[in-house]
Structures are given as structure tokens and as C-alpha cells.
């Protein structure tokens, strides 16, 4: 989330010289301005605000943090003490006559114009000053111009070309921003409800991108070739197909069973399109892209939110300084830092055992119920010919998904957690356990029972089941938003007004999204058009949830760390969900026998057999030996993976050790800062004592000295615009503004 597109780096030290102090420790005398020291100084440390703006020169790194600050404590030691008035930030030190202004200009001149613009933009100054700075730099640059003109004119051409390119890139990115999906709506939501609720909608949009990509890939590589050799659909179309997915849809491109196993040839040309390989590789490509996208997002969020040794401090500072939270319950915050004895911790833990047992028991009971119903369902369907009867299982699963999380939330009323954050995490864990177990049980049922049951075209059956599950989930979500939340609002406003409006339960909603996406990923193999359906679902849910949010909800009152929660959500999406999908598909492809009559893999002993056969045919052809070599020695070979794993483990171990070393380094540096602070205090006290002694010793010469000082100071401070006191500072400010 940090804007980080710095390419060039120059270390510039721009000193904000506090009034009264000289920046160059050339003369080590202590100026008699010590008389201006205010008495209450013992508390304040005369830390100069030295800002160094770090611009990095190095074209390889694109992501880099901006600032490194260093305090010039040592310099302040050899100088006079300043009045505790911090100089106005927009003051004198920034004019082009000052030394630090000169430094800044000198650093800006050699930069390319793009970086110069960025550097100037990042300065914390008023527009007027930035404009002046730009003019001055341009003037200086043009002074050096005559020399620069000797550079070959193609360099100038390149320069103008890069300018044009930059401008067009800017306009294109602006265009993209304006057409980016739901940009404005998200901003409104973020403004009204905070970044936590916004994170749900951003997550939804991100999942939508996955689905759009999968749909496009599937459509281009699977559906279109299949449509070219499609067979006529002889079934009748009734309206019920939208819900059951069976009937007319069975013989369409929607399901696995419709796809041909032949090699499609276009006319008499030699172009051959092997549907078997295309099917496997397309689904594989979708999943691999999702995998890398998830991995990189997770790594990025992880890096920003977790891997920073001090981050584990929960941080009241964030609550105080961030604008997302309305701090209502302060006592919660105070409790975070109390430590408990072991015995207290144990008693506290044991109080939680019961609710955990209850929740786990409920989850297991639901799984068992689902399993038995699934088994019973198939017999039930054989006896009852009603096409709508297939909806029973999805209906039950959706009911479980609706009711049990709310029961878990009610458990929360019974058990007490000290930290609201723990509550959220526990709720999240329980819900994810429930959802993953249900999906797990269903997968087990499908792969072990349905696939082996000898039914005709079991893949299509599984595809239809998943379609129905998704659809029922969608219907329930709609009903929940339209009816449930609406009713809750009516109750909260009219009947039991003490309840008030409800707050958006982010965890539950995100888990529903994750659940649906898991089903889509599993079902993509059996029903290639499933991403399209999920696309429509997500699209609709966005608008429904948005409207429901505005009408039925109030902004959250509790502190919620949005960026940490997003990291947790992506982690959940990756770890139980995506890896589960990969396991399921792996079992399907390697272990199961495709059905004999339908689909691209009919008649083969296993799905992966098509790849084996392909490799065999390739080894017959002379030009493709390298593919065969790669397959045998890199993909199919155990040694390769063993060595690879070993290397990865070694690298991980080394990085871990580096991290440990850095933690120690941070601790040492922290101690060093504290020590330097103590040194500073000590020296200041000594300074005050010396000044007091001098004052007592020479009260008369003091007045003369003062006058001398007031004459000396402008001379010494000369080019620096540091103003010893307010009087000087104000007049200089006026001068500055006239310029």
C-alpha cells in the first residue's frame, strides 16, 4: 500500500536548523546565546530535525521505502543551545540562498526530469516554494546547458521521446483509473464505513478478477474449439435447469461430459487441436496463475504487516494516530499490556475448553449429517423422479452454512475474551473449520463414492452438484441480504431500539466468499463454465451488499486492523482453500478412472494417461526430444525434486538466521539511541550549570556581550537564514514572502 516507485537515490541532508544554532560546528565556542536558554529546558532535548531525503540511484529496485532519518545529535553538542521554538517549517531554511537549499538544488540538478518532478513533489513545502525551487533548478540547469548541448542530439531525441512516453503513460494510467471497476463506489464505502468494511469489497473485486481471467482462458481454449465440433442437443429445455443444472444443460459446453476426446482438425490443414491436452493444460494454467497471484499477494501483505520484528507490539500508537478508529472503549486497550501468571493463564484457558468442545462437536455433527444425507440422497433420487429433488442436499448445506456460524457468534456471548481481536480470530478459526470440513466431506463423497459407483458420466454429475451448491449459496446470500438484514434493521429501529443498527460482519462475509471460490476452483475441472457463473454471482453480490450496507448497517465501532485482516484472509484463501483444491484435483487426475462414454478422457485408464501418451508420441518425433527430456529428467525425476527441496531448505534456513541477526541488531540500536539520549541530557544539564555559574560570576559584562552577540549573530549566521529568535524569524518570513 505504500507508494513506492523510487528509482534514483541520492542522499541529501537537508537540515532544518533550529533557531539560534549554527549548523556548522566550525567554531567550537559556545556562543553567548546561552543566555536565552529557557529554564524549563531540562525536559526538552534539543534534537535538531535533520531530514535526509533518500533517493536511490539504482535501476533494479523499484520498491523502496522513502526516508531514512538520522538525528545529528553530535552536531548539536558542540553548539549553542537553541530556544525550544521549533522553526516554522516553511521558513527560511528552504530559500535558495541557504546552504541546505543549495544542497537540495545541487542534488536535484543531476536527476532526470521525471525524478526531479517526483522529488520536488515529495517536499513538504507550499506550492509557491516548490514552484520557486523548480524555477531555480531549471535556471541552474540551463546555465550548465551550453555544456550539455554538446551531448549528441540523439540523446536529446531520446529525452523528448521519453518525455512523450511519460506523458502518454500518465494519461493511460489516469484512464485506467477512471475505468477501473467500481473505483468510485469503493471510495464512497471506504469513506463512510472505514477501511475494514472496504477490505471486504476489495477482496470481492480481487476474486472477481481471478474469475474473469479463468473465464476468458477457459472460453478461448475450451469452449470455442468445442463449439466448432458441437453435437446437437436433443434434450428439452425447461426452466428448472437454471437451478438444477441438469436436464438441457447436461449436453452443453457447461459440463465435462460434452467435450469431445478427438483431435479437432480445422478443415484440411495440418492444424490439430488435441482436446484432451487442451483441457488439462487450460485448467492447469488457470490454477497455476491463481497460485502465483495468491503467492505474490500473500507475500506482499505479509511483508508489510507481519515480518517486522517489532510489529508484534500491538500498538496503541496506531490506534491513536490512525483515523480509522473511534476509540470508545479505552479499558480494552489498557488490558493489552498486563501480564499474567501461569496459573491465571491456565484457569483462563480452561474456561474456554467447553465452548471449543461444543463448536467442534457441532461441526463434526454437521459433517456427518451431510455425508449421510449425500448417501441417502442417491437412493432417494432413484426412487423419486422429481427433478427438483436434487436440490435437497444443497439446501441442507446452505442451511448449515447459514445457521451454524450464527450459533458460533452466539457462543461468543457465553464465553468472555479479554481482547476483541482474539474473539475475531477464534470465530474465524471455527467458521473456517466448519466450511472446510463440509467441503472436505463432500469431496470425499464425490471422489470415493460417486466416481467409483459406475454411473455413466460421473464427472458431469459432480459438476452438476457443485453448480447446485453454488447456486443455492447465492440464493441464500441474496435472501439473507434482502430479508435477513432488512428485518434486523426493522427490529433494531422499531421494536428493540436498544439493539440499534447492526454492524457489517466482515469475517463471516469473507468466509462465504472464500467458500464459494473454493467450490469454483474444485468445480472448474468438471464444469469449465463455472467461473462465468461465479463472475455473475460476485457482480450481483457486490451491488446487493453495497445497497444493503448503506441501508441497513452502521459503521463499525470496534477497532479493526484492516491490513492485518486482509493478510489473514488471503492466507486463508491460500492455505486451506487453494491447497485443498490442488489436493482434490491431484487425486482426481492421478487416481481416478474417467468415465467410459463421455468427456475428453473417455476410455483412458486415468486422466493423466493422456499426457503419458502424448509424451510417447513426441518421443517418436525427432524435433521434440527436448520436451521429452524435460519431462523425464525434470518433471518425472525424483532426484531433481530432492535436490531442489534441499536447496530451498538451505536458503530458508540462511534467511531465518539473517532475520534473527537483524532482530539483535535492532535491539542494540535501540539501546544505543537510549544511551545517546542520556548523553544529551547529561550534557545539557552540564551546559545549564556552566551558564548559571557564568551568569553569577559576571553579571555586568553580560549586557555588553549580549549586544555584541546580537551584532555577531547575523554576521556568523550570514547565509544561513536561521533566526535566533522570533523577532528575526518573523522579519525573515516577511522577506521570504516578498520574494
Partner 1 sequence: MGQCLRYQMHWEDLEEYQALTFLTRNEILCIHNTFLKLCPAGKYYKEATLTMDQVSSLPALRVNPFRDRICKVFSHDDVFSFEDVLGMASVFSEQACPSLKIEYAFRIYDFNENGFIDEEDLQRIVLRLLNSDDVSEDMLMDLAHHVLSESDLDNDNMLSFSEFEHAMFKSPDFMNSFRIHFWGC
Q: Which is nearer to partner 1, 101 or 257 (CB)?
A: 101
At what angle are helices 99-108 and 113-121 packed, to 10 degrees? 140
Q: Which is nearer to partner 1, 187 or 689 (CB)?
A: 187
Q: Which is nearer to partner 1, 382 or 727 (CB)?
A: 727
In the complex, least distance from residue 677 CB atom to partner 1, rounded to whole angstroms: 3
Q: Least distance in Å: CB of 46 to partner 1?
A: 10
Closest of 265, 256, 337 to residue 602, by C-alpha = 256
Long-range contacts, 537-542 (Cβ 8 Å, 24+): 537/470, 537/474, 538/204, 538/207, 538/208, 538/211, 538/513, 539/208, 540/474, 540/478, 541/204, 541/474, 541/477, 541/478, 542/182, 542/201, 542/204, 542/205, 542/208
**Shortest distance (Å) from residue 381 CB to partner 1:** 51
**At closest approach, how far in Å is the CB of 132 from partner 1?**
11
CB atoms within 10 A of CB 407: 13
Q: Please, which residues bridge with residue 265 across strands? A: 272
DSSP state for residue 87 in the 8-state scheme? P
264 versus 681: smaller Cβ distance to partner 1? 681
Cβ proximity to partner 1: between 49 and 412 the closer is: 49
Least distance from partner 1 to the Cβ atom of residue 563, Å: 5
Residues 80 and 470: their CA atoms lie apart, in Å, by 74
Task: Identify the residue whose cell numbers are 541488531.
Answer: 665
Q: Which is nearer to partner 1, 47 or 619 (CB)?
A: 47
Nearer to partner 1, 114 or 613 (CB): 114
Q: Dihedrals φ, ψ of 717, to 5°?
A: -75, -15
Q: For partner 1, which is the closer residue by CB, 192 or 352?
A: 192
In sequence order, which residues have a C-beta less than 8 Å from that of residue 515 and are 6 or more positions away? 401, 435, 439, 473
Residue nearer to partner 1 on the CB measure, 18 or 245: 18
Nearer to partner 1, 70 or 652 (CB): 70
Q: Which is nearer to partner 1, 331 or 386 (CB)?
A: 331
- Please give the sequence-ordered ranges of beta strands (E in DSSP) within 616-728, or none if there are none: none
Q: What is the DSSP string of 553-617?
A: EE---S---HHHHHHHHHHHIIIIIIHHHHHHHHHHHHHPPPPSSSSTTTT-SSTTHHHHHHHHH
Around Cβ 728, how many Cβ atoms within 10 Å? Answer: 19
Distance CA 465, CA 449 (A): 14
Q: Which of 420, 402, 580, 652 is nearest to 508 (CA)?
A: 402
> Residue 726's Cα: distance from chain center in Å?
47
Shortest CB 257 distance to partner 1, Å: 47
Cell of 148: 550539455
CB 99 within 8 A of CB 131: no
Residue partners of 433: CB distance under 8 A and separation at least 6: 360, 363
Residue whose CB is less far from partner 1, 62 or 318: 318
Q: Smallest distance from the beta carbon of 420 to partner 1, in angstroms?
A: 16
Adjacent-strand bridge partners of 554: 503
CB nearer to partner 1: give 497 or 737: 737
Q: Which is nearer to partner 1, 19 or 282 (CB)?
A: 19
Closest contact distance (angstroms) between CB of 122 and partner 1 is 5
Q: Would you state the cell numbers that stand for residue 645, as one nine-digit string?
A: 527441496
**Min CB(195)–partner 1 separation in Å:** 5
- Residue 696 belongs to what H/E stretch? helix 638-697
Q: Residue 313: count other Cβ atoms within 10 Å of its Cβ.
A: 11
Quote the DSSP letter at residue 494.
Answer: I
Q: Which is nearer to partner 1, 123 or 606 (CB)?
A: 123
DSSP state for residue 230 in the 8-state scheme: P
The least distance separating partner 1 from the CB of residue 503, rounded to whole angstroms, comes to 18
Cβ proximity to partner 1: between 704 and 726 the closer is 726
Q: Which of 100, 107, 117 is nearest to 23 (CA)?
A: 100
Asked if 732 and 721 touch (Cβ cutoff 8 Å), the reply is yes
> What one-character-per-residue DSSP string does 92-157 give?
GGGSTTSHHHHHHHHHHTTS-HHHHHHHHHTS-S-HHHHHHHHHHHHHHHHHSHHHHTTS-HHHHH
What is the smallest separation between the CB atom of 151 and partner 1, expressed in angstroms?
A: 24
Give the burial class of 380: count Cβ atoms within 10 A of its Cβ; 0-12 exposed, 13-18 middle, 19 or more buried.
middle
Question: Cβ closer to partner 1: 60 or 328?
Answer: 328
User: Shortest gap between Cβ of 131 and partner 1 (angstroms)?
Assistant: 7
Q: Are 459 and 595 in contact (CB under 8 A)?
A: yes
Nearest distance from residue 166's CB to partner 1, in Å? 11
State the minimum distance, in angstroms, from the CB of residue 186 to partner 1.
Answer: 11
Nearer to partner 1, 217 or 333 (CB): 333
Distance in Å, CB of 173 to partner 1, minimum: 9
In whole angstroms, the minimum distance from the beta carbon of 53 to partner 1 comes to: 8
Query: Measured from the CB of residue 313, what is the shortest distance to partner 1 in angstroms?
Result: 6
How far is CA 236 from each of CA 134, 177, 384, 386, rounded to the nearest angstrom?
74, 46, 20, 16
Burial of 449 (0-12, 13-18, 19+ CB in 10 A): middle
Nearest distance from residue 171's CB to partner 1, in Å?
Answer: 9
Amino acid at each position: 500500500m505504500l507508494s513506492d516507485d523510487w528509482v534514483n537515490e541520492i542522499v541529501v541532508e537537508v537540515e532544518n536548523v533550529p533557531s539560534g544554532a549554527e549548523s556548522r560546528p566550525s567554531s567550537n565556542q559556545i556562543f553567548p546565546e546561552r543566555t536565552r536558554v529557557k529554564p524549563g529546558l531540562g525536559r526538552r532535548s534539543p534534537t535538531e530535525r535533520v531530514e535526509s531525503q533518500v533517493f536511490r540511484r539504482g535501476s533494479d529496485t523499484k520498491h523502496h521505502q522513502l526516508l531514512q532519518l538520522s538525528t545529528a545529535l553530535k552536531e548539536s553538542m558542540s553548539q549553542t543551545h537553541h530556544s525550544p521554538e521549533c522553526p516554522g517549517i516553511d521558513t527560511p531554511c528552504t530559500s535558495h540562498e541557504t546552504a541546505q537549499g543549495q544542497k537540495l538544488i545541487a542534488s536535484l540538478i543531476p536527476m532526470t526530469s521525471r525524478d526531479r518532478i517526483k522529488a520536488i513533489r515529495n517536499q513538504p513545502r507550499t506550492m509557491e516554494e516548490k514552484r520557486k525551487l523548480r524555477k531555480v533548478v531549471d535556471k541552474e540547469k540551463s546555465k550548465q546547458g551550453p555544456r550539455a548541448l554538446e551531448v549528441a542530439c540523439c540523446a536529446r531525441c531520446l529525452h523528448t521521446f521519453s518525455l512523450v512516453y511519460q506523458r502518454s503513460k500518465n494519461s493511460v494510467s489516469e484512464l485506467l483509473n477512471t475505468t477501473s471497476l467500481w473505483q468510485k463506489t469503493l471510495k464512497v464505502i471506504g469513506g463512510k464505513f472505514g477501511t475494514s468494511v472496504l477490505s471486504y469489497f476489495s477482496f470481492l473485486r480481487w476474486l472477481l478478477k481471478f474469475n474473469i481471467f479463468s473465464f476468458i482462458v477457459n472460453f478461448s481454449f475450451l469452449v470455442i474449439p468445442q463449439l466448432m465440433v458441437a453435437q446437437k442437443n436433443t434434450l428439452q429445455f425447461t426452466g428448472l435447469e437454471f437451478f438444477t443444472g441438469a436436464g438441457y444443460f447436461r449436453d452443453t459446453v457447461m459440463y465435462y461430459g460434452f467435450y469431445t476426446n478427438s483431435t479437432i482438425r480445422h478443415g484440411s490443414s495440418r492444424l490439430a487441436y488435441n482436446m484432451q491436452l487442451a483441457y488439462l493444460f487450460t485448467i492447469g494454467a488457470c490454477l497455476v496463475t491463481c497460485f502465483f497471484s495468491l503467492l505474490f499477494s500473500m507475500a506482499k501483505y505479509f511483508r508489510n504487516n507481519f515480518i517486522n520484528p517489532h510489529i508484534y507490539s500491538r500498538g496503541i500508537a496506531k490506534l491513536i494516530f490512525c483515523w480509522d478508529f473511534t476509540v470508545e472503549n479505552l479499558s480494552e486497550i489498557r488490558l493489552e499490556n498486563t501480564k499474567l501468571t501461569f496459573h491465571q493463564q491456565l484457569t483462563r484457558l480452561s474456561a474456554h475448553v467447553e465452548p471449543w468442545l461444543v463448536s467442534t462437536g457441532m461441526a463434526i455433527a454437521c459433517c456427518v449429517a451431510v455425508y449421510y444425507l449425500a448417501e441417502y440422497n442417491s437412493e432417494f433420487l432413484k426412487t423419486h423422479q422429481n427433478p427438483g429433488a436434487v436440490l435437497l442436499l444443497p439446501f441442507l448445506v446452505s442451511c448449515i452454512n447459514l445457521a451454524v456460524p450464527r450459533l458460533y457468534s452466539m457462543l461468543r456471548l457465553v464465553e468472555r475474551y479479554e481482547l476483541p481481536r482474539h474473539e475475531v480470530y477464534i470465530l474465524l478459526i471455527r467458521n473456517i473449520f466448519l466450511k472446510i470440513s463440509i467441503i472436505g466431506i463432500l469431496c470425499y463423497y464425490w471422489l470415493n463414492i460417486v466416481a467409483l459407483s459406475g454411473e455413466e458420466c460421473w464427472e458431469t454429475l459432480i459438476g452438476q452438484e457443485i453448480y447446485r451448491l453454488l447456486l443455492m449459496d447465492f440464493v441464500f446470500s441474496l435472501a439473507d441480504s434482502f430479508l435477513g438484514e432488512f428485518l434486523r434493521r426493522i427490529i433494531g429501529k422499531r421494536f428493540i431500539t436498544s439493539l440499534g443498527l447492526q454492524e457489517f460482519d466482515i469475517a463471516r462475509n469473507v468466509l462465504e466468499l472464500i467458500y464459494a471460490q473454493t467450490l469454483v476452483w474444485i468445480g472448474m475441472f468438471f464444469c469449465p463454465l463455472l467461473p462465468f457463473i461465479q463472475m455473475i454471482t460476485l457482480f450481483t453480490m457486490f451491488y446487493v451488499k453495497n445497497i444493503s450496507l448503506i441501508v441497513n448497517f452502521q459503521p463499525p465501532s470496534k477497532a479493526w486492523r484492516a491490513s492485518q485482516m486482509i493478510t489473514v484472509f488471503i492466507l486463508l484463501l491460500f492455505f486451506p482453500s487453494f491447497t485443498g483444491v490442488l489436493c482434490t484435483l491431484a487425486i482426481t487426475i492421478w487416481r481416478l478412472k474417467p468415465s467410459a462414454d463421455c468427456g475428453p478422457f473417455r476410455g483412458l485408464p486415468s486422466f493423466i494417461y493422456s499426457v503419458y501418451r502424448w509424451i510417447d508420441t513426441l518421443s517418436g518425433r525427432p524435433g521434440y526430444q527436448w520436451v521429452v527430456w524435460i519431462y523425464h529428467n525434470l518433471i518425472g525425476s525424483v532426484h531433481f525434486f530432492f535436490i531442489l527441496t534441499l536447496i530451498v531448505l538451505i536458503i530458508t534456513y540462511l534467511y531465518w538466521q539473517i532475520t534473527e541477526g537483524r532482530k539483535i541488531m535492532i535491539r542494540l540500536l535501540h539501546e544505543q539511541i537510549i544511551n545517546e539520549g542520556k548523553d544529551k541530557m547529561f550534557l545539557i544539564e552540564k551546559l545549564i550549570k556552566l551558564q548559571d555559574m557564568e551568569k553569577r560570576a559576571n553579571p555586568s559584562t553580560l549586557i555588553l556581550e549580549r549586544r555584541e552577540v546580537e551584532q555577531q549573530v547575523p554576521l556568523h549566521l550570514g547565509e544561513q537564514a536561521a533566526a535566533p529568535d522570533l523577532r528575526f524569524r518573523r522579519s525573515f518570513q516577511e522577506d521570504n514572502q516578498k520574494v
